[in-house]
A and B are shown apart, each in its own frame.
With several copies, the nearest count.
Chain A
Amino acid sequence: MKQTLTTLYRQTGSSYRKRVQGMGTFGILLAFVVICLALALSTPRFMTVSNLTIIVTQVSINALLAFGVTFVIITGGIDLSLGSMVAVTGVVAALFAHPDTYPLIVPLMMALGAGFLMGGFNGLVITRSKVPPFIVTLGTMTIGRGLALILSKGRPVSNLSDTFNFIGGGQVFGVPFPIIILIVVFVLCSLLLRKTIWGRYMYAVGGNEQAARASGIPIAKIKMLVYILSGLLAALAGIVLTSRITTGQPNAGQGFELDAIAAAIIGGTSTSGGSGTMTGTLIGALLIGVISNGLDLLNVTSYYQQVVMGVIIIGAVVLDGLNRKK
C-alpha cells in the first residue's frame, strides 16, 4: 500500500503560492501615488522641484527615526523614547558645537554616544528584565526629557558653529544636506535589514522568538542591537534637527515617536513583529510629509487640517488593506 501511495501521490496544485515575496509595499505605494496625483491636480504649487525638495527635507528627521523604530518593531518591540532621545542628543551636540571650541567630529560623536547609551539602556533593561518595551521606553522618554533639561539648564543652547549648522541647513550641488543623509541612511538600513545576518535575525526574533532561540540565534544581542540602532538614528535625527534650527532645544522632539511609529506601520510594518521593510517605512514617512505639505499649500484652516490629516491617513491604510485582500 505504501508503494502505491508514493508512486501515485503528487503534490497538489500550487495555486495559493503565487505570491512569493515583495508584494508588501505595493498597496501603500498606490495610496501614496493617488494622494500625490490628487495634490498635483489641486494646486500647481505642489509638483515643483522646490516644493518636492522641501518635502523630502522636512521628512528626513521623521524618516530617520522611523527607520530606527522599524528595526525595533520588526523584533516585536516598541520605542517611545525617540522624541526624548532627539532632545538629549540635540542638546549634547549643541553643547559641543559652539564656534571655535571643538572640531565638528566632537559634537557628532558626543551626540551619537548619548544616543548609543540611551538605546543601550533601553535594550539592557528590556533584555534583562521582564518589563515590556512599552513601559521601559516610556520611562526612558520621561527620563530623557528630564536629562535634556538638566543638561541645557532648561534653556536653548544656541550660538553654534557654521560647520555644524551646515548639516541641517547646507546644500551639496543644490541638494539639501539632510536629503543626502536620508538617502545614505536609507540605503544602509535597507542593506542591513535585507542583506545581512543581523537583519535576518531581527525578522526571526520578531517572527517567532522560540524558533529563533532553537536555531541558536542570540536573541538578547539582537534586541540590544535594535535599541542601540534606534538610539543612534535618534541621535542623527537630533543632530540634523539641532543644526536645522541652529539651537539645542531641550523641549524638541515631542510626539516625534508617534509620527515615526505611524510611518513604519503605514509602511506595512506589523506591530506584532516579524515583518516590515525600510522602503515601506520611507513611503510611510513621505506620505505623512506630503499630506502635511499639501494641506498647507491648499491653505486648509489649521483646525480642519488636523481632521483632514487624520482622515487621509486612515483612508490611505484602508486603501492599502483593500488592495492587499485582492
Chain B
Amino acid sequence: NQNTDSAEGDKPVIGVTMLSMQNEFIVNVSDEIDKKAQEAGVELITVDAERSALKQIEQVESFIAQGVDAIIMNPCEVEASSPAVAKAQAAGIPIINVNSETATKPSAFVGSDDVESARIAMKYIAERLGGKGNVIMIHGYMGQAAQIKREQGAREVLKNYPDLKLIASQTGEWDRAKAMSLMENWIQSYGGQINAVFAHNDEMGMGAVNALTAAGMKDKVVVVSVDAIPDALQAVQKGTLDATVYQNAQQQGSQAIETALKILNKQPYEVQVLIPFQLVTKKNVAQFVK
C-alpha cells in the first residue's frame, strides 16, 4: 500500500515530518499519529528531519511536489522551519504544526508552550527550596528552539526569586552520558553547595541523578526535568528524580491528525489546540505510569 499514488488513490495522503525519530517523546507522538491515521484510513508519509531545519524544508518541498493533501510538521526550529510553512501555504496545502511553533503561522497548531514547561519545573524547585538556594541548569543543545525556550522559562522564574542563585549552567546536548559527566565535574567543583538541578530534558535529568547517586548526594539535591519519559516516571516513583513535567504525546498526536482530517473534510476546526503541561511528582506519578 506504500506505493499507492497520491493522485489517483481516493485515500487522503498526509505528509508528516518529525523533529527527530531518535527522541522518545517525538516517537511517541509519531506513533499516535500513525495509530489514529490507520483508524481514519489515511495514508501517511512519515519522514525524519533529524533535527535539521534545512532537511525539514526539503522534506516539505518534496511533499508539495508529491501533491500530498495535508502536512503535519513537528518543527525543528521556530524561525528556520518557517519557510516550510510559507511554502506549503503558497502551494495551498494545509499545514499543521505539532508540538512546537514556527514564526510563520500555520493553518493550525497543536501542542504546548515549551516556555511553560520550564516555568513549571523551576517553580517547583523554588518551592522545594523555599525560594533560597543554589541551582544548576543543564541545557539542551545550544541554539535549538527547545533549549532557548526552556532557558527563557527558567530565567523568568529565577527573576522572581532573588535568593535562588543560578551558580552554573552548561550544555548536556540532550544526552544522558554527557549530562552525567557534567554533573560529576560540578560535584567536584561545587560539592555540597548545589541544592537543585534543572535539566532541559529527562535524559539529562537521569544523567544528573546517576552522578548524584554515585556521589551519595542525591538526598540533598532536588532534580527536576521535562518530558516524563517512562524511565523518568519510574525514577519519580522510586524517589530518585524529584519531578518531571508531563507533556502529553498521545494528545498531541491524536489532536494533530484530527485537526488535519477536519481541515480536509472542510469541517470547522480550532486554529490553536493547546495541550497543557502537568507537573509529575511522587504524589501523582501513579496516574501517568502505565
Q: Within 8 Å by CB, do A and B touch in the complex?
A: yes
Chain A residues within 8 Å of B, Cβ to Cβ? 42-45, 48, 50-51, 54, 57-58, 61, 148-149, 152-156, 158-159, 169, 241, 244-247, 249-252, 254, 292-293, 296-299, 301-303, 305
Asked whether, in the complex, the Cβ of A249 is within 8 Å of the Cβ of B234, the reply is no
Asked whether, in the complex, the Cβ of B180 is within 8 Å of the Cβ of A296, the reply is no
Asked whether, in the complex, the Cβ of A43 is within 8 Å of the Cβ of B54, the reply is no
A181: min CB distance to chain B, Å: 15
Q: Give 8 nearest A-B pairs by CB, closest first.
A: A302-B48, A296-B185, A158-B79, A247-B79, A251-B22, A245-B80, A250-B143, A251-B143
Cβ < 8 Å to A, chain B residues 153-202: 168-171, 175-177, 180-182, 184-186, 188-189
Bound CA span A127–B276, Å = 56
Question: How many residues of B sit at the interface, in one of the four size bands?
Answer: 35 or more
> Which one of A57, A250, A293, A298 has the highest number of Cβ atoms from chain B below 10 Å of its Cβ?
A293
Closest to A152 in B: B143
Q: Give every chain B residue within 8 A of A45 (Cβ-Cβ).
A: 5, 65-66, 188-189
Asked whether A302 and B188 contact (CB < 8 A) given A54-B58, A169-B214, the answer is: no
Bound CA span A56–B234, Å = 30
Number of A-B contacts (CB under 8 A): 174
Q: Give every chain B residue within 8 A of A241 (Cβ-Cβ).
A: 54, 177
Chain B residues within 8 Å of A, Cβ to Cβ? 2-3, 5, 21-24, 27, 45-48, 52-54, 57-59, 61-62, 65-66, 77-83, 103, 139, 141-145, 148, 168-171, 175-177, 180-182, 184-186, 188-189, 203, 206-207, 210, 214, 229-231, 234
Asked whether, in the complex, the Cβ of B142 is within 8 Å of the Cβ of A244, the reply is no
> Which one of B66, B79, B81, B143 has the highest number of Cβ atoms from chain A below 10 Å of its Cβ?
B143
Which label, helix, strand, loop or mixed, suits the secondary structure of the B interface? helix
Asked whether, in the complex, the Cβ of B83 is within 8 Å of the Cβ of A169, the reply is yes
Asked whether A156 and B143 contact (CB < 8 A) given A245-B53, A296-B59, A303-B21, the answer is: yes
Asked whether, in the complex, the Cβ of B27 is within 8 Å of the Cβ of A155, the reply is yes
B182: min CB distance to chain A, Å: 6
Bound CA span A137–B117, Å = 39
Asked whether, in the complex, the Cβ of A156 is within 8 Å of the Cβ of B66, the reply is no
Bound CA span A153–B142, Å = 10
A60: min CB distance to chain B, Å: 11
Bound CA span A293–B66, Å = 12
Q: Give every chain A residue within 8 A of B181 (Cβ-Cβ).
A: 58, 292
